[in-house]
Amino acid sequence: MAKNAPLTMGIEEEYLLVDPRTRDLANDPPPEFMEDCRKELGERVCPEFLRSQVEIGTPVCQNIQEARTHLTDLRRVVRDMANKHGLMLMAASTHPFALWSKQSPTQADRYETLARDMQGAIRRMLICGMHVHIGIEDPDLRVDLMNQVAYFMPHLLALSTSSPFWGAQQMGMRSYRLAVFDGMPRTGIPEQFTGWSDYERLINRMVKTGAVEDASKLWWDLRPSSKFPTLEMRVTDICTRVEDALAIAALYQCLLSMLIRLRRNNQRWRNYPRLLVEENRWLAQRHGVKGRLIDLGKEQMGPFPELLEEILDLVQEDAEELGCVDEVNHTRKIAREGTSADRQLKTYQDAIEKGVTPELALRGVVDLMVTETSMGL
């Protein structure tokens, strides 16, 4: 890793508020809930587009240990505030049976503008995600790393999947969240750019034509942040267990460190056609860690755990330097035991096999996720 690249970190997570009586979403939480959260956490917590959602963001962290402290504190405080107001907190990218058409939007100018511009595409956004910011001061380096690290977005997605249900239906995907999110414009794997000026020219053309107000309206899986000097990873589902979230954040940080190290030695990761990376994205969305992805170098499919081992070998030196070996190695456990999506599907299927009704089985899935949201806090 370059000595002038500290690779600071920030993590954003979006949660769902659940009614403990029905296990459905609480689409009309008391205003005192957010007021109490703000008293405790200030600007680190904010509402989301739908009233049943809440978003948190850590401050800038120097390493994964600081990120752990802040992320667990934020989860715990928001959970406790939810409990105080008769609600439960759930970290998952979709609710197993809640209907988007029954949700109430948050009353704020920003969200009203989005609703007017995006119409039905955004009204369906009953989804939550995790975003990880890594500090990259040099804008040209930021764009160069975006070009290269895009290759690994499907692998990070596979490790995070937590959205196998939608509207009480099994959707046959570990991450149905992306199927919903891709209904919005300007999503998916980002374009390739020759440098920061090339990226800026595209943004300026979009703004000049009136297509967007600013760069924040590009909702790619990976983008230069419009607010901070960071490269923001946005492809992942939110992890139900905080330990999984920290593992993915650490792995993303190490991937960038590895690419900087290659660059220092006049090497770089090959840029592959976007279509091939998008295909891996689909495979990760469909199967998570239980499937196969394309090894684009070998031009053949490989089981996800084997591809993960190759990645871990690549970043071993960086994990040691950044002090996140344990967190990065935790991804092996995710690959071996499965993600939240796998546990949700197993919980549901086990209940059905015992003769439980689908409605009660889905309530059991909610209970699983509410419990796991508090693990490690």
Q: Where are the domains of the chain?
A: 9-373
Query: Where does the pLDDT of residue 111 fall: very low under 50, low under 70, confident under 90, or very high at 90 and above?
Result: low
Q: What is the pLDDT of residue 215?
A: 87
Q: What is the pLDDT of residue 100?
A: 86
User: Rounded CA gap, 217 and 43, in Å?
Assistant: 21
Q: Does domain 9-373 have CATH number 3.40.50.980?
A: no
Percent of the chain's residues with pLDDT above 70: 97
Q: What is the pLDDT of residue 123?
A: 77
Q: What is the mean pLDDT of residues 28-50?
A: 92
pLDDT (tens digit per residue) in 149-159 = 999 999 999 99
Helix H or strand E segment including 245? helix 242-264
Query: Where does the pLDDT of residue 308 fall: very low under 50, low under 70, confident under 90, or very high at 90 and above?
Result: very high
How much is the CA Rg of the chain, to the nearest whole Å? 20
List Cβ neighbours of 285 (8 Å cut-off, separation of 6 or more): 157, 161, 173, 174, 175, 178, 179
Among 369, 80, 70, which residue's Cα sits nearest to residue 249? 70
Structure tokens at 126: 């009953």
Residue-averaged pLDDT of the chain: 94
Query: Where does the pLDDT of residue 115 fall: very low under 50, low under 70, confident under 90, or very high at 90 and above?
Result: low
Q: What is the pLDDT of residue 180?
A: 95
Q: What is the mean pLDDT of residues 348-353?
A: 98
Query: What pTM did the predictor assign?
Result: 0.95
The one-letter amino acid at 308: L
Among 339, 276, 334, 346, which residue's Cα sits nearest to residue 305? 334
Q: Between 113 and 159, whose confidence is greater?
A: 159
Among 256, 287, 346, which residue's Cα sits nearest to residue 159? 287
Q: What is the pLDDT of residue 226?
A: 87
User: Rounded CA gap, 248 and 160, in Å?
Assistant: 8
